[in-house]
Amino acid sequence: MVRLFIILLFLMAYGAAAQDLIVKKSGEVIYCNIESVEDYYVQFYELADTSKSLLYKMDVAIVKKIAFAGNNELPFEDENNFTADKDLNGSYTMVETNVDGLLSDYASLHFQFLRSKYAIDIGFKRFSSPSNFFFGSFEDNGSMVELGVSLPMKIFGNENRPLRGLYLRAFTIYTAGNFTNNSQFGGSIVEYNQISLGVQGVLHYQIASSFYLKVYYGLGGTIQVDSFGPPVRRADLSGGDGLQSIYGVRIGYIF
């Protein structure tokens, strides 16, 4: 019993003499006497090495933090908690829809497959744009198929919300529709097909573990494939033929 008490006193005294400690990213804790902290290495002596005969060097890449005798801590950047300017890990599958479509008489459904170096998306839209005048009515109805490829430009997510960043997206949209003109002088239906190509900047912002918000704006050009189409806004497109702005807001779900 006396011997156990002496051993406990020795351990308490030995622990009290401990000046510094190193916490590795693996969770291992090393009690030691730190000699110096440099850009790439932490140099230290073992506690039992009172003569300081053997100096150890540890790579800072495996160090989470160090603490000195005065309880001053020096944290190191944990690469597991930050993804800024780094590649995303893993892959993600998402589904999203346009919020602004509720105000613009169109519905959309998009699927996105995001990887560390790129993202591919495909979307489907259905639009209806009726207009009434005192001498008649017009209605523009149709559907659209969109394909896009995105490249990450700046990622600023964290461990819990990794899908936050800026992307550069190239896209193409195929539109098939019909324009109905009902007036006092008669009626007509014009069918048309369009192809739109463009580039846009995208802000992808994860707001919860499974939900995100996407805001995009860019420029694109639209050409008629085989017939005339009216220069009206339909879904993301701000007009008919020629150069136009293409923008919108989507909300999405992450599987």
Q: What is the pLDDT of residues 52-74, one digit of tens each?
A: 899 999 999 899 888 887 666 66
Predicted confidence (pLDDT) at residue 243 exceeds the cutoff of 50: yes
Predicted confidence (pLDDT) at residue 166 exceeds the cutoff of 60: yes
Q: What percentage of the chain reaches a pLDDT higher than 70?
A: 75
Please give the structure tokens belonging to residue 243. Answer: 């150069």
Q: Mean pLDDT highest for which of 7-11, 93-97, 177-181, 223-227?
A: 93-97
pLDDT of residue 8: 43
pLDDT of residue 222: 81
Q: What is the pLDDT of residues 180-226, one digit of tens each?
A: 877 666 677 888 888 889 999 999 999 998 999 999 999 888 877 66
CA pair distance 248, 102, nearest whole angstrom: 11
Q: What is the average pLDDT value for the chain, to the nearest integer?
A: 80
Count of residues making up the chain: 255
Residue 197 makes CB contacts below 8 A (sequence gap 6+) with 171, 172, 220, 221
Predicted confidence (pLDDT) at residue 17 exceeds the cutoff of 80: no
Cβ-contact 111, 123 below 8 angstroms: yes
CA pair distance 194, 231, nearest whole angstrom: 12
Cα pseudo-dihedral 77, 82, 84, 89, rounded to 10 = 130
pTM exceeds 0.75, yes or no: no
Q: Which residue has the tokens 């497109």?
A: 237
Q: Which residue has the tokens 């879904």?
A: 235
